[in-house]
Amino acid sequence: MEKEDVKILNKGEEEELELQGYRLCRWRLALVGLGVLFTGGFLLLLLYWMPQWCVRSTCTRTTARDAEVVLLRSTDEFRRWFLAKVRLMLAPGSNPFHSLETQTTSPSSPSCPFSSPVPPPLANGHTSHPSDGSPAQELIRRFADYQPTQIRYFTFHSTKYYWNDELQNFEVLTGLEDLQVSCSTLHLEHSAGLTRNQQEYRKLFFGVNEIAVKVPSLFKLLIKEVLNPFYIFQLFSVILWSADEYYYYALAIVIMSVISIATSLYTIKKQYVMLHDMVAAHSIVRVSVCRADNDIEEILSTDLVPGDVVVIPSNGTIMPCDAVLVSGTCIVNESMLTGESVPVTKTNLPNPIPGDRGESDSAYNTEEHKRHTLFCGTNVIQTRFYTGELVKAVVVRTGFSTAKGQLVRSILYPKPTDFKLYRDAYLFLLCLVGVAGIGFIYSIVLSIMNEVPAKTIIIESLDIITITVPPALPAAMTAGIVYAQRRLKHIGIFCISPQRINICGQINLVCFDKTGTLTEDGLDLWGVQRVENGSFHLSEENAYKENLVKSQFVACMATCHSLTKIEGQLSGDPLDLKMFEATGWILEEATEEETSLHNRIMPTVVRPPKQLLPQELPISTEQDMELYELSSAYEIGIVRQFPFSSALQRMSVVARLLGEKRMDAYMKGAPEVVASLCKKDTVPENFAEVLEGYTKQGFRVIALAHRRLESKLTWHKVQNINRDHIESNMEFLGLIIMQNKLKAETPGVLQDLHQAHIRTVMVTGDNMLTAISVARDCGMIPPQDTVIIADALPPHGGQAAKITWRYADKPSKTTRCLEEVNISLEDVCHRDEPKPQEFYHFAMNGKSFSVIAEHFPDMLQKLVLHGTVFARMAPDQKTQLIEALQGVDYFVGMCGDGANDCGALKRAHSGISLSELEASVASPFTSRTPNISCVPNLIREGRAALITSFCVFKFMALYSIIQYISVTLLYSILSNLGDFQFLFIDIAIILLIVFTMSLNPAWKELVSRRPPSGLISWPLLFSVLTQILICLGFQILTFLWVQQQPWYTVWSPLSDACNQSTHLNLSDVNDTEVDDHNIQNYENTSLFYVSSFQYLTVAIVFSKGKPFRQPSYKNWPFVMSTLSLYFFLLFIMFHPVESIDEFLEIVCVPVEWRLKLLLIIVVNTTVSVVVETFVLDIVLWKLVFSRDKQGSFGITPAAPLPQGGFDLGAYKCLARLCCPHRMTPKARYMHLAQELSVDPDWPPKPTTTTEAKSYPENGSNYQIRISS
């Protein structure tokens, strides 16, 4: 038995996991228990924080098959650990899809992959229990002849993993798709329904059909929040200070922590309740199911299992599961999934004739057969059935396996967002802990040498740790975020994940949904341009004219669509709707009663309004009147529809005019496609020029065509004819010009983002040509830039996957070349100039994106570098795109308005929803303003909050180091700061300054520079280290200089440094309280004054303003606080007040020494300001450590070149000093751009095809070949 085996779960999927099996070990458990006891529970906390340590310390390794506990680790870049307990379940069978009547009694049968032999006494002392209690026992009793089977499983992230003996691994049961059933088998074997026994049996494995979002109790949330390492450290600090009778500051920290925890709990609880309400709204409904005995039974939707046959009610319903239609037709609103609130017609799954070897009888797949699949959470508006037949659907997936379930799982269990600031913060804290460790050892050694009591040694040694690692740090860091959150709320942006505000400051790429985000929700008809006798007429505003009513052009507009009537209202694709409304015609559909009486579909009829028809009245008899009415009844019946296909880029219909024997075919679609299917003599010669004129203006152009069909084509023949036969040899009718209106704010906002060097990308569920048109219209793609469409095809018929490259339109003759000089460290140090680059953008649809992601992973990284338009993207593809962009080190923002954006909004570094519906539950930010103007506002506030976090973190680090220096110097003379000195510094100075220095509002505009992303960067380290050295130098100077003063002696109550000894008498001395801690002395007083001013100095120099925040002088609370503290400290320094001196335990020093202290303070302040402002901000930050080098690494139009802002000569000089060797950019996208700038084969030419290789050579998994 191989004990060290590591299994891979969900191989190749997003949630891929490594699994190791463990068995509980009693002696290890006992040892850990003792360890917990001896460490006062701290070991238990450590094991809670580190699940891998918990499992390894309490268990021994075993095979996955025999595991009692499994240790899971994600294979992504975060490598997170999880543990799960393996449970046992008894069931009457082992495979949920086998009929109970056919189950064998031998549990080790090969046909039972999930089975395990059940010995009479259960192994390992496990108590077997069914997943749902009594139903399994009831089933086992009912089938007592069969030996019960032991099933092993564990639950992770709302998904059950069952042990499969055949695979020797755990696997997920998703539903009916696991069987790989063909369409014909699905009709033949699964359309009759299940018996009650089968349904109960399957329910054991698939569980309750419910997307259960449990709202944790406040107590559970409280425990989870309180067990954060920072709060544990605060608790330790509070206990220590209480032991040292330092109650006031301890109370202040407790109050801050309680407020912080309460706010956090409220936010988390609110999120859970919102998500629960969104999911629970329609999760439990009553449904009718067909049983195997032709019975129809009404049950709760929670009892549905894969294989059940549900009856869809005629008045519609919210789907409680994923199901495939096997009879009838449904009209469904899928806005929950796609974001496009356009009703979609779902038809029944094709049932190929048995024996037919055509390709149509493929294995059922929800993605391939989505036109026949009703998805969970979508709204069935109405159904259609014929000759009394019910509309039925077979349940395919239930619970969290459904499309909606997966969406909810992505919200419940998001990947952590990695942000360098937080990683660096922990690293910085570790450095402070290291410094504290040195002080800890130093204080112990010094105290032992001076024979200090043990209790004092313990308290003072531990106290130095709480000084070095400030417990108020979380509250201080939160302050800036809370203020930013308040400012965002003021401008209508609501935040449910405050930590993301800081990350917004780093965003350098924003993905936008199109419909409802960049554009208004609908399309508008701009005009029409008809063709007659092979030439264009002048463009006309509309076709609502009497002279056109009987023209083929208007007939095509009135018939070639997929509109339907829902509750008397026309509904369908917005383009079709606008086109039909422009004709003014009326659409009439057969009623349910009419369709139920006929074996075949009654045709949809369209007719013009009477006022458009000729008004000639016959002057004749009654018979003539009847003939007139018949002739004036101009109606067209739509006999057959060939639905719009994004692959074919067209749709067509067969229609018949009332009274005519021959039928007509009408077609509409992409102009180039339609023109290629028409007779050449009917297409105008200037067709290409006219079309280009419209597309360059950003219009959506649709072409129309017509053909008179042969008289031999009857109704029956038309129903079975191939669309290729219809869609050929047509006559070109003209163009319809549609306008997808942009929201007024869109171009301006995108311009602001471009000027700030923030890339913009469109990711939409809409058509690609529309998306490219809108991208050009809004300025996302400049008019002269080339758009290269990547069409990817999966492997087929033994051929490898391939990508065909083509231009979206003819590139302008004046295609720009990169003439600007790219200035960067790379250019200065490495003189090989890159090749001139064209400005180009990639565009692709969802299918191509999936193929490229699977078969060309290296290519995908290069494509996203210049990818600007991603069309026809499914919700999960949007999420994958966000991850691909993050994979090349972009900080990605996502702005959308639909539930289909939920996964992407959650996954992005910063997601902002323009809708307050489903999307707002997943999105960290929700805007009340229904346009994208909120995006630059959010980034500005994010930058301000990020700089505030840096300022506060630097200030808190300096505060702890300054105090640490003071205490360490005083420890050397067995002294310390007094309790009230600590209290004054910690509350009056530190908390007041921290909470006011965070109030600077954001700068009024977005600049092209971005703040640093981490604390471990040269400018910030230089800043902190120089200030530490300055403070250390001046404190040591003060400490040594005071001891060199002629009046200096070891202080006692009789000391006469201020010539006050004459006023003291012996009784005063006797009454004086003995100073056990040796607080009152000249060194203490001098260091107290100097360090107090140092806190204020570093607060001023660290409180940065422009270009990310408003200047500090505009932050009046900070200015007032600083001035007040300066005034107070100078006042008590030069005008001692006895009560204040006693309270702060300050001693009197001569006036000349106070003047010398003032000199030290002034020089200290001057040096700090000069070093921080002039040396760091002007020289180092702007010249050497500038981070915006995107343009210099070939990130063309999407991330323009930085313009100006620094002295080029100085830059070159410093750069030569700083990079003697070739510099490689840190961000992966910059590195890729650098490589591509010298690649002669990039970008791919429109005449090439890229093919995937079976066996990659030289690290490349594709090759480019020229198409013939």
Find out whether 86 and 152 touch, Cβ atoms under 8 Å: yes
CA–CA separation, 702 and 557 (whole Å):
11
- Neighbour count for residue 389 (Cβ, 10 Å): 10
Query: What's the average model confidence in pLDDT over 474-488?
Result: 81
pLDDT band at 640 (very low <50, low <70, confident <90, very high): confident
For residue 1060, what pLDDT band results from cuts at 50, 70 and 90?
Answer: very low
Q: Which parts of 191-228 fold into alpha helices (H)? A: 196-206, 218-226
Instruction: Write the CA distances from 803 to 573, 1245, 1246, 1262, 1263, integer angstroms.
Output: 30, 12, 11, 10, 10
Confidence of residue 1220 (pLDDT cuts 50, 70, 90): very low
pLDDT of residue 645: 66
Read off the pLDDT of each residue in 313-327 and give the average, rounded to a whole number. 85
Both structure tokens of 239: 């206990």
Tokens of 831: 């003189």
**What mean pLDDT is predicted for residues 429-454?**
79
- Burial tier of 1050 (Cβ tally within 10 Å: 0-12, 13-18, 19+): exposed
Active site residue 809: no
| pLDDT at residue number 1215 | 44
Angle at 450 between CA 446 and CA 453, to 5 degrees: 100
3-class DSSP assignment, residue 1148: coil
> How open is the CA angle 54-59-63, to the nearest 5 degrees?
120
> 3-class SS at 392?
strand
Q: What is the pTM of this model?
A: 0.71
β partners of residue 845: 871
Task: Give pLDDT, residue 1077.
Answer: 62
State the Cα–Cα distance between residues 1045 and 1038, nearest whole angstrom: 11
> Which range in 64-78, 592-606, 830-844 is most confidently predicted, on average pLDDT?
64-78
Q: Which of 263, 264, 237 is closest to 249 using CA atoms?
A: 237
Reduced to 3 states (helix: H, G, I; strand: E, B; else coil), residue 844 is strand
Of 1-10, 122-131, 219-228, which range is least confident?
122-131
pLDDT attached to residue 358: 41
Give the CA distances from residue 542 to residues 465, 582, 700, in Å, rounded to whole numbers and listed in that order.
79, 6, 16
pLDDT at 23 exceeding the cut of 80 = yes
Per DSSP bridges, beta strands 786-793 and 759-763 are: unpaired
- Can you give the pLDDT at residue 995? 85
pLDDT tens for each residue of 368-409: 777 788 888 888 887 776 556 788 899 999 888 888 888 788
Q: Which of 234-243, 352-361, 694-703, 716-725 has the lowest mean pLDDT?
A: 352-361
Check if the beta carbon of residue 924 is closer than 8 Å to that of residue 271. Answer: no
pLDDT at 821: 29
Sign of CA dihedral 191, 196, 197, 200: positive
Question: DSSP class of residue 1182?
Answer: I
Selected residue with higher pLDDT from 1257 and 517:
517
Confidence (pLDDT) at 420: 65
Q: Where is average pLDDT lowest: 83-92, 720-729, 835-844, 1256-1265?
A: 1256-1265
Percentage of the chain modeled with pLDDT above 70:
79
In the three-class reduction of DSSP (H, G, I as helix; E, B as strand; rest coil), residue 28 is classed as helix
- Answer whether residue 522 shows pLDDT above 60: yes
Two structure tokens written together for 374: 């009703």
pLDDT-derived band at 514, boundaries 50, 70, 90: confident
Q: In what order do the strands lie in the sheet with 169-172?
A: 87-91, 149-156, 159-164, 169-172
**In the predicted model, is pLDDT for residue 93 greater than 70?**
yes
d(Cα 579, Cα 666) in Å, to the nearest integer? Answer: 14
Rounded Cα distance, 1268 and 1262, in Å:
19
Q: Specify the range with the lowest mean pLDDT, choosing from 14-23, 736-745, 1067-1076, 1241-1250.
A: 1067-1076
Is it true that the peptide bond before 107 is cis, omega within 30 degrees of 0? no
> What DSSP element (H or E) covers 702?
strand 700-708
**Separation CA 416–CA 413 (nearest Å):** 9
Written as six digits, the tokens of 727 are 């869609």
Which is the catalytic residue, given 308, 322, 513, 664? 513
Is the separation of the CB atoms in 893 and 507 below 8 Å? Answer: yes
- Tell me the pLDDT of the chain averaged across its residues: 77
For residue 115, is pLDDT > 50? no
- pLDDT at residue 1263 in the model: 58
pLDDT at 689 over 50: yes
What mean pLDDT is predicted for residues 1091-1113? 88
- Taking the CA atoms of residue 500, residue 506, residue 512 and residue 516 in that order, the dihedral angle to the nearest 10 degrees is 50
Spatial distance between the Cα atoms of 871 and 527, rounded to a whole number of angstroms = 25
Which whole number is the average pLDDT over 1250-1255? Answer: 65
Local confidence band at 1096 (pLDDT 50, 70, 90 cut-offs): very high
Say how far apart CA 849 and CA 768 lie, in whole Å. Answer: 13
* pLDDT, tens only, 831-889: 344 444 568 899 998 888 988 988 888 888 888 888 999 987 877 788 889 989 988 88
- Nearby residues of 877 by Cβ (< 8 Å), 6 or more positions away: 846, 849, 850, 870
Closest CA to 572 of 648, 667, 651: 651
